[in-house]
Amino acid sequence: MKKNLLLFALSLIGFLQANGQEDANLKGFSMTMNLDGNRVEMQCSSGCQWTKLSFTLPLMGKVQMVNENGMAGEETETSKSAFLFDLSFADNTILLNGHKGTAWKKLSFSMMEGKQAIIDQHGFEGYK
C-alpha cells in the first residue's frame, strides 16, 4: 500500500512539474477580434505592444502572422517573439495556428458580424 501511495505521489509531482513548465512557456495576452465586411479588427488589452490592429482578410490559403508587436512577416523568427500565431479565414471561420507562447496549436471559431471573439494564450474564450 505504501509503495502504491509513493508511486501515486511521484506521478502527481511529475504531472504538476510538467504542467508548470507548459505554463511557463505561455505568454499572457488577451485580445478581441471582430469582422467588419472582409476586414479583421483586433484589439489587444494585455500582453501586446499594440492596442488596435486591422487588416483585410488574407485570400484563401494565405496567412497573416501576428505577434506581440503586431502584424509580422512569415519569416518572423519565433525565438524573437513572446507569442506568435498565424491567422487565415475560410467559410466564415477564423483559423489560428499557434507557433509560440500559446497553449493551443490550432484554434478555429466562427465570426459573426457585430460580435467580438475573445482569445488569449489559453484559447477561445467566447463572444462579447
In this model, does residue 62 exceed pLDDT 70?
A: yes
Mean pLDDT is lowest, of 9-18, 30-39, 53-62, 65-74, for 9-18
Better-scored residue on pLDDT, 61 or 16: 61
How confident is the model at residue 15, as a pLDDT? 37
Looking at residue 122, the DSSP 8-state letter turns out to be T
Mean pLDDT is lowest, of 17-26, 39-48, 49-58, for 17-26
- CA pair distance 78, 83, nearest whole angstrom: 8
- 35-40: which pairs have CB atoms within 8 A and are 24 or more residues apart? 35/111, 35/112, 35/113, 36/113, 40/64, 40/87, 40/89, 40/94
Q: What percent of the chain has pLDDT over 90?
A: 48
Closest CA to 31 of 128, 112, 114, 106: 128
How confident is the model at residue 106, as a pLDDT? 97
Helix, strand, coil % in the chain, rounded to nearest 5: 20, 45, 35
- 19-27: which pairs have CB atoms within 8 A and are 24 or more residues apart? 22/103, 25/101, 26/101, 26/102, 26/103, 26/121, 26/122, 27/68, 27/82, 27/83, 27/100, 27/101, 27/102, 27/121
In this model, does residue 63 exceed pLDDT 50?
A: yes
